[in-house]
Amino acid sequence: MRNPGERKESGPGVPEAIPRGLQSLLHRYGGERLDRVWIFPPLVSGRRESGLLVASVFVEGPEAERRVLVSSPYSGERTGKGLRLDWTVQEQGEAPADRFPRVVEGVVRRAEKDLGEPEELIVDGDEAALLEALSGYPSELLDPALPPVAAPESGDSGAVDPEVGDSEDDGARTEPVAIAGEAP
């Protein structure tokens, strides 16, 4: 199995894309509602990247065995002026939980581009599982506007303040980010 964020093609791509997409799903649904997240290998061309995250989200209410299928496609590019990262979060419909692996396999088969096999991140309603996955990314790749990021290790100040970013968010974001060491 590959590492999250491993590049399918050559180039630096946009390493912030996958962790920020995971943060967006966590922010929008909360860890207790996320069941599974499938992270498709990104398509990278130089300093451009596109990819897809698919999530299974617990349905609220009496239909506990049903899940909502959520797709989160993204595209990003690094330029001399910084980073452009756009993604959306779209609810596609509901289905019984046992159908989701086949649905994800169908996404791979029907894709216009070779998406590759996704990595399955099992959250199972446990926010700590998603936080653990996010802790595998350097803190500078995470979106400081989306809490929570990761628990600081022994006084590390790299954690993001959970009070930042509590505003309503439809999941779509475009954010210019200054990249250290690049000429403007």
pLDDT at 51: 92
**Percent of the chain with pLDDT strictly greater than 90:** 47
Tell the burial category of 162 from Cβ atoms under 10 Å away from its Cβ (0-12, 13-18, 19+). Answer: exposed
Backbone angles phi, psi at 23, to 5 degrees: -60, -40
Specify the pTM. 0.72
Q: What is the DSSP letter of 123?
A: -
Residue-averaged pLDDT of the chain: 77
Tokens, residue 179: 């990249």
CA distance 144 to 164: 8
**pLDDT above 80: residue 156:** no
Break the chain into its structural domains and give their ranges: 17-174
Q: Give pLDDT, residue 117.
A: 85
The string of pLDDT tens digits covering residues 41-66 is 999 999 999 999 999 999 987 677 89
Question: Is pLDDT at 79 greater than 50 in this prediction?
Answer: yes
What's the whole-number mean pLDDT along residues 147-165? 41
How distant, in Å, are the alpha carbons of 27, 29, 79 from that of 83? 21, 26, 6
pLDDT for 172 = 39
Dihedral of the CA atoms 150, 151, 157, 160 (nearest 10)? 40
Task: Name the residue among 20, 53, 22 with its Cα closest to residue 142.
Answer: 20
Predicted pLDDT of residue 4: 52
